[in-house]
Homo-oligomer: A and B are copies of this chain.
């Protein structure tokens, strides 16, 4: 492709409303163009990358025996009513009324449609296991679309759904999908991590997220380098090691008139932070007979809301009590709470259960207790895993010490079980002629999101540094001053033809621009291999080779093809 026959419109300025690098660079390179909030056109340059991602996903899904199909974008409300999700899914579900007044949704996901398909098409265990997938445009009416295609409303997704007669079969196939996803991200040339995840609203027990690693990632991942241990911080188990030491101090009430935070207590009263606790008051779940519940974690730890929500005592979603509620229930402010004399149900973190000689608020403004010891000064309350893991924590599987990294979720695989097949009464005959609800798995990949994630992971201050497998072009030829130099033009055209014949996708920049502008665009759009052709080099039979983000060297003209052999 020559730029004169292509549509390449770049811009120097960083767009004002683009907050993250991938959004800025996709706009600056002209890969995407905003139509309206959360809705983008993919230009020819952007689509080339999108299609490369799509092709790798398709090839690997096919190689694993999955069958591609294409389900409708527009789905009837009745199906979603069968599973209860018409109401449960929330405002992200874009609802549509047709000319006849019937209700539909622009599909954000296809569990209902595939289950409807399966209950019509699959009658016998002999047809199983089977996995259908599609690569299709989906819509989620995000309340706050942002970050370009990273969190768009309209997006391209691969979604797959498998059907099995029993959980063992699903388990085996789930492993196949885990490997398939790993191969996909390897082939895309991306650093990634598969992490154990919370399966959230989709349902089911086992699930893994696939994250493209990037410092700008929204998700935090706990992992142990060099091992398989990796989990979303929301889910990573925090363990407490060791035993509780014997008491050495008497419990004593001290005046702490200016201590409202843990930091105050440490600073003003010389308490080691590991000897302090935070008492957090949250809304109780409906069946508790009380309105508030207390949770306690160590002063240097952070509450994990996902874990807290899973406690039977706690209302979901988690809601912290207001200062007014706390004062009404306890008679003290949030900075002076503690276990001594507390009249609310109390759940403490595993680490807190191992503390001795610790300090906490006295449930009276301006006072704390120091030297508190469980089972001497008060009984040990219920113990649970309540905190977020931190860097350096021991991993729950004993594999080593946790490091925290950031990632962008681009894939998610779930074991759904019979949630959908049961709700929609999909029945398949087993070997004994008995009807069974099939066990399902589902497997998503955000195709358009991967493009943005690849950029987040691979860019510098000058632009994108495409991994070769997803680069819009393999090679960029820059003929300097080609308008004036016949020799430069001719050499560029020859190399262009030779590289194309060798199966490379080549972009030849034949725009009548100054070299500086051409170099800047080359860095911006990030084609991996750049060949700079100029008269000065040709005098010596060489051209300049630049690896985007890497080496830069002179190379003999007749050695150029060898670079790509």
Contact = CB atoms under 8 A, between A and B. Distances in A.
Interface of A: 5-7, 9, 30, 33, 35-36, 39-44, 46-47, 50, 65, 67-76, 91, 94, 96, 98-99, 106, 113, 116-117, 120-121, 127, 130, 132, 136-137, 139, 141, 143, 153-154
24 contacts: A5-B65, A7-B127, A9-B121, A30-B121, A33-B121, A35-B116, A39-B72, A41-B69, A41-B113, A42-B70, A44-B67, A44-B68, A44-B69, A47-B68, A73-B137, A74-B94, A74-B139, A74-B154, A91-B99, A94-B96, A94-B98, A94-B99, A98-B141, A137-B137
Contacts of A7: 67, 121, 127, 130, 132
Contacts of A113: 35, 41
A120 to B, nearest CB: 6
Given A41-B70, A41-B113, A106-B106, 18 more contacts: A7-B67, A7-B121, A9-B121, A33-B117, A33-B121, A35-B76, A40-B72, A41-B72, A41-B117, A44-B67, A47-B68, A47-B70, A74-B106, A74-B153, A94-B96, A94-B99, A98-B141, A137-B137
A136 B137 CA distance: 9
A35 B69 CA distance: 14
A72 B44 CA distance: 14
Contacts of A76: 35-36, 39
A2 to B, nearest CB: 11
Question: How many monomers of this protein are in the complex?
Answer: 2
Nearest to A139: B74
Contacts of A46: 69
A36 to B, nearest CB: 5
Given A73-B137, A113-B35, A96 B106 contact: yes
A364 to B, nearest CB: 47
Contacts of A71: 35, 41-42
A91 B68 CA distance: 33
Contact of A75 (B35, B68, B94, B98): B35
A116 B39 CA distance: 13
A496 to B, nearest CB: 16
Most-contacted residue by chain B among A33, A35, A40 (CB, 10 A):
A35
A41 B134 CA distance: 11
A287 B196 CA distance: 74
Contacts of A43: 69, 121
A50 B35 CA distance: 28
Contact of A72 (B68, B72, B154): B154
A339 B46 CA distance: 66
A39 B73 CA distance: 9
A6 B139 contact: no
Nearest to A155: B72
A71 B6 CA distance: 17
Given A35-B113, A121-B33, A132 B44 contact: yes
Contact of A154 (B47, B73, B99, B153): B73
Contacts of A6: 67
Given A91-B99, A120-B33, A137-B137, A50 B72 contact: no
A53 B65 CA distance: 23
A127 B9 CA distance: 10
A250 B35 CA distance: 73
Most-contacted residue by chain B among A6, A99, A139 (CB, 10 A):
A99
